[in-house]
Amino acid sequence: MNIPDIITLIAIMIVGGYLLQNRIFCQHQKLSDIVKGLPCRSWVFGNIIAFRTELDFGALLGWHDTYGAAYTVRGCLGETRLVISDPAAFKFFFQNPYKFSRPPLDTLSSDLINGSGAVFSEIGPSHRRLRGVMDLAFRKYASSFQEGTDAVIQQWIDQCQQNGRGEQGTINVQQALGKFALTESMHAVLGDTPESDSKKHTAQKMWIEYSSNILSELISKPTKRALIIERLAEALLPKTLLRIMLHLPEERLKRLHRFSKLNADFVNEIVVNYESKQLGCSAEDDSDTTTSPKNNGSSTSIFSAMVRINEGLSKSQNKLTLRQIASQVPSMLIAGQDTVGNSLSWALYELASHPDWQERVREEIIAHARFSGEAECPQAFFRNEGLDGLPCLNAHIKETLRFYPGVPMVNRITLEDVVFPLAEPILSADGKSKVTQILVQKGTRVHFNLAAYNKTRSIWGEDAGSFNPWRWLPTQRLSESEQGPVRVSTGLGPYANLSSFIGGARVCVGWRLSILLMQTFLTRCLAKFRFKLVENVGIRPIVTFTIFPALDNDEDSPSPSLPLGIEML
Ligand code: HEM
- What are the tens digits of pLDDT across the range 356-412? 999 999 999 998 877 666 655 555 555 556 788 899 999 999 999 999 999 999 999
What's the pLDDT at 284? Answer: 45
Measured distance CA(133)–CA(208) in Å, rounded: 25
Asked if 410 contacts 550 with a C-beta cutoff of 8 angstroms, the reply is no
* Dihedral (CA of 437, 442, 444, 447) sign: positive
Ligand 1, atom 10: nearest CA belongs to which residue?
Answer: 501
DSSP per position, 104-145: HHHHHHHHHHH-TT-TTT--HHHHHHHHHHHHHHHHH-----
Question: Residue type at 135?
Answer: D
Centre of ligand 1 from the C-alpha of residue 335, in Å: 5
Which protein residues are within 6 Å of ligand 1, measured from CB?
119-120, 131, 185, 331-332, 335-336, 339-340, 343, 405-407, 410, 500-502, 506, 508-510, 513-514
pLDDT at 461: 87
How far away, in angstroms, is 276 Cα from ligand 1 center? 31
* Ligand 1 atom showing the smallest separation from residue 342 Cα: 1
For residues 2 and 4, what is the distance between their CA atoms, to the nearest angstrom? 6
Q: What is the pLDDT of residues 208-244, one digit of tens each?
A: 766 766 666 666 667 777 788 778 777 777 777 777 7
Beta bridge partner(s), residue 169: 566
> What is the model's pLDDT at position 57?
82
Contact indicator for 555, 566 with CB cutoff of 8 Å = no
Mean pLDDT of 117-133: 93
Q: What DSSP assignment string belongs to 224-286?
A: HHHHHHHHHHHHH--HHHHHHHTTSS-HHHHHHHHHHHHHHHHHHHHHHHHHHHHTT--GGGT
Nearest to 421 by CA among 433, 407, 435: 435
Highest-confidence range of 1-10, 248-257, 325-334, by mean pLDDT? 325-334
Q: Whose CA is nearest to atom 7 of ligand 1?
A: 501
Q: Higher pLDDT residue, 205 or 487?
A: 205
- Among 22-26, 107-111, 196-200, 248-252, the least confident range: 22-26
Buried b (16+ CB within 10 A) or exposed e, 69-93: bbbbbbbbbbbbbbbbbbbbbbbbb
Answer whether 146's CB lies under 8 Å from 292's CB: no
How far CA 563 is from CA of 298, 310, 401, in Å, comes to 40, 45, 20
Q: Which of 136, 151, 137, 158 is nearest to 182 (CA)?
A: 151
pLDDT score of 346: 98
Burial 257-278, CB ≥16 within 10 A → b, else e: eebbebbeebbebbbebbeebe
Single-letter residue type at 540: R
- Residue 62 · residue 455 · CB < 8 Å: no
Q: How far is CA 308 from CA 137, 298, 311, in A?
A: 9, 11, 5
Could you tell me which residues are beta bridge partners of residue 566? 169, 531
Q: What pLDDT sits at residue 255?
A: 79
Minimum CA distance residue for ligand 1 atom 17? 508
Among 495, 527, 525, smallest CA distance to 512 is for 495
Q: In this structure, are strands 539-543 and 434-440 parallel, antiparallel, or unpaired?
A: unpaired
C-alpha 479 to ligand 1 mean position (Å): 37
* Cβ proximity of 470 and 483 under 8 Å: yes
For 169-200, the pLDDT digits (tens) are: 899 999 899 999 998 998 899 886 555 555 55
In our burial notation (b when 16+ CB lie closer than 10 A, e otherwise), range 438-466 reads bebeebbbbbbbbbbbbbbeebbbeebee
Residue 290 has pLDDT above 50, yes or no: no
Query: Is the pLDDT reported for residue 486 higher than 80?
Result: no
* pLDDT winner (highest mean) among 43-57, 417-431, 477-491: 417-431
What's the half-sphere exposure (Cβ side, CA atoms, 13 Å) at 19? 11
Cα of 331 from ligand 1 centre, angstroms: 9
> Above 60 in pLDDT, residue 120?
yes
Maximal C-alpha separation, the chain: 76
Sign, CA torsion 468/474/477/480: positive
